[in-house]
């Protein structure tokens, strides 16, 4: 009974915070991100581009409109405020771009860029051409030359999902990667290149297929990018730049993951709200996935941001997991 009372108090506090403080700030933040759409020479989405599902805003609406929704967690407010600050910065700092930005970078500078990104905690960095049909509706990107970033989430904390400890770690990763993206954008400007950081929480583009296009990994049945280094235990961000001679990869060696996912099905079986499907579904946003979005979102909103599908994915284990699983598929082919 005492635990239920505490949960009720937490829920009332969160709902009050959302109504008075959170929702107006999130609404202003979304409006600022959308303002890039009106910048001169910006890249716009196409008619085939998806609509971004506004998770923070929809979560707040859910709390206000549904009496049967009750949070089991407390949001890490300090991290949330830092995340919002850095999303604002990603837009505000565009005005710092050099007027006559350089467009070519020597190979040694790109190596220096990777070293700087690694010093900021970025685990994987690759270059990719941004397709306009991955830009969310009402959003915009300044350049189609992109630097895609991946940062590892703690395996130890993911193994505790769903929990407050896992949620705190996930938000910390969002925050740290958002800061890294802004610092990388600043690093580029200091060396004469224009840039635009794209925060991992509430990005301007659909990150998983962009990262797949960059050759970082492959999107699994759970809709998350699976990387050789960390499996789906990553958060993704991007920096768009004036550099026009970025070295793009011409192929993706991770396509075999698709076949493994078809034979595995652990995320389908272990998903608490049974929101991951064997077959695909087309959402109102235009995305085609294996996820029943509403069922996933409602559970996600109540239970620590969930992360069970990340936890049970065999690729999440460290070490030689990627190569061992690849060998299993190669034997079958």
- Confidence band for 17, pLDDT divided at 50, 70 and 90: low
Alpha-carbon distances of 144 from 5, 15, 185, rounded to whole Å? 51, 40, 15
Are 289 and 206 contacting, i.e. CB atoms less than 8 angstroms apart?
no
Contact partners, residue 201, CB within 8 Å, separation at least 6? 83, 87, 174, 178
Q: In terms of C-beta density within 10 A (0-12 exposed, 13-18 middle, 19 or more buried), how is residue 40 classed?
A: exposed
Provide mean pLDDT across the span 103-125.
98
pLDDT at 4: 42
E strand or H helix at 270, and its extent? helix 266-270
Tens digits of residue pLDDT in 267-318: 999 999 999 999 888 877 677 888 999 999 999 999 999 999 999 999 999 8
Mean pLDDT of the chain: 92
Provide mean pLDDT across the span 19-29.
80
Q: In the chain, which ranges are E strands?
A: 124-129, 145-152, 195-198, 218-219, 225-226, 234-241, 276-282, 288-291
List the beta bridge partners of residue 239. Answer: 147, 197
- Residues comprising the chain, all counted: 333
pLDDT at 180: 98
The pTM of the full predicted model, rounded to 2 decimals, is 0.93
Provide mean pLDDT across the span 202-206.
96
pLDDT at 321: 96
**Is pLDDT at 71 greater than 90 in this prediction?**
no
pLDDT at 2: 44
Point out the least confidently predicted range of 43-57, 63-77, 85-99, 198-212.
Answer: 63-77
More confident residue, 125 or 72: 125
pLDDT at 1: 40
What whole-number distance in Å separates Cα of residue 191 and Cα of residue 197? 16
Provide mean pLDDT across the span 8-19.
60
Contact partners, residue 160, CB within 8 Å, separation at least 6? 166
What distance lies between CA 167 and its chain's CA centroid?
Answer: 15
Contact partners, residue 162, CB within 8 Å, separation at least 6? 272, 303, 304, 305, 306, 307, 308
**Is pLDDT at 230 greater than 60 in this prediction?**
yes
- Confidence band for 16, pLDDT divided at 50, 70 and 90: low
What whole-number distance in Å separates Cα of residue 147 and Cα of residue 243? 10
Token duo for residue 231: 């499996």
Q: End-to-end alpha-carbon separation of the chain, Å?
A: 56
Tens digits of residue pLDDT in 128-176: 999 999 999 999 999 999 999 999 999 999 999 999 999 999 999 999 9
Are 147 and 198 contacting, i.e. CB atoms less than 8 angstroms apart?
no
What whole-number distance in Å separates Cα of residue 187 and Cα of residue 181? 10
> Quick one: what percent of the chain has pLDDT higher than 90?
78
- Confidence band for 15, pLDDT divided at 50, 70 and 90: low
Q: CA angle 167-298-17, nearest 5°? A: 65
Token duo for residue 44: 């716009």
Provide mean pLDDT across the span 72-95.
94
Q: Domain ranges in the chain? A: 2-241
Are 205 and 221 contacting, i.e. CB atoms less than 8 angstroms apart?
no
Phi, psi of 249 (to 5 degrees): -80, 150
pLDDT at 3: 43
Q: What is the DSSP string of 299-310?
A: HHHHTTT--HHH
Provide mean pLDDT across the span 95-104.
97
Domain 2-241 fold is NADH Oxidase (3.40.109)
Q: Beta-carbon neighbour count of residue 100 at 10 Å? A: 8
């Amino acid at each position: 009974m005492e635990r239920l009372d505490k949960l009720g108090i937490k829920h009332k506090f969160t709902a009050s915070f959302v109504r008075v403080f959170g929702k107006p700030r999130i609404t202003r933040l979304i409006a600022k991100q959308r303002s890039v759409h009106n910048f001169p020479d910006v890249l716009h989405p196409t008619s085939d581009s998806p609509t971004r599902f506004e998770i923070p805003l929809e979560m707040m609406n859910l709390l206000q409109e549904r009496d049967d929704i009750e949070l089991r967690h407390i949001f890490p407010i300090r991290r949330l405020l830092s995340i919002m600050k850095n999303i604002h910065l990603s837009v505000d700092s565009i005005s710092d771009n050099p007027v006559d930005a350089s467009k070519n970078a020597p190979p040694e500078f790109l190596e220096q860029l990777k070293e700087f990104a690694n010093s900021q905690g970025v685990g994987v960095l690759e270059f990719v051409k941004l397709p306009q049909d991955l830009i969310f509706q009402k959003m915009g990107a300044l350049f189609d030359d992109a630097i895609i970033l991946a940062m590892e989430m703690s395996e130890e904390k993911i193994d505790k999902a769903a929990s407050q400890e896992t949620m705190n770690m996930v938000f910390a990763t969002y925050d740290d990667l958002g800061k890294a993206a802004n610092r990388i954008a600043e690093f580029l400007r200091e060396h004469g290149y224009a840039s635009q950081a794209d925060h991992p929480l509430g990005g301007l583009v659909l990150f998983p297929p962009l990262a797949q296009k960059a050759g970082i990994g492959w999107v699994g049945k759970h809709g998350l990018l699976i990387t050789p280094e960390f499996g789906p235990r990553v958060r993704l961000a991007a920096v768009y730049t004036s550099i026009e001679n970025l070295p793009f990869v011409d192929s993706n060696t991770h396509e075999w993951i698709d076949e493994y996912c078809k034979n595995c099905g652990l995320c389908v079986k272990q998903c608490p709200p049974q929101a991951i499907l064997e077959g695909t579904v087309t959402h109102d946003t235009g995305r085609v996935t294996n996820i029943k979005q509403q069922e996933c979102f409602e559970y996600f909103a109540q239970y620590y941001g969930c992360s069970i599908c990340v936890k049970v994915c065999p690729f999440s284990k460290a070490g030689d997991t990627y190569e061992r699983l690849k060998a299993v598929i190669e034997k079958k082919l």
